[in-house]
Amino acid sequence: MDPVVVPLMLVAVFVVTLGVLTGVGQRRRGGGVGLCVLAAVCFPLAWAGWYVQDRHDAVA
């Protein structure tokens, strides 16, 4: 197996895992199925939105 493929596969698994966990977290926060899928696909934006929604100060 090509030595580049294994690290790329590990990164892909990590990113998919973060997406799935973010979707589950959005569902627990009361989001519908569509919003959960969107949160899973755009998980960094979902995290930033949750941070602001939870009334933390935005980092400038």
Q: Give the tens place of pLDDT for each residue, 16-48.
A: 999 999 899 888 888 888 888 888 888 888 888
**Does residue 47 sit within a domain?**
yes
**Does residue 39 sit within a domain?**
yes
**Does residue 45 sit within a domain?**
yes
Residues spanned by the domain of 56 = 23-60
- Res. 60 pLDDT band, cuts 50 70 90: low
State the virtual CA torsion across 10, 23, 21, 8 in degrees, nearest 10.
Answer: 10
Q: What is the pTM of this model?
A: 0.73
Across residues 3-19, what is the average pLDDT?
91
Structural domains counted in the chain: 1
Please tell me the distance from the alpha carbon of residue 17 to that of residue 14, in angstroms, as a whole number.
Answer: 5
Strands of the chain, DSSP E: none
**Does residue 13 sit within a domain?**
no
Q: How buried is residue 53: exposed, middle or buried, by Cβ count under 10 Å (0-12/13-18/19+)? A: exposed
Across residues 1-8, what is the average pLDDT?
87
**Does residue 9 sit within a domain?**
no
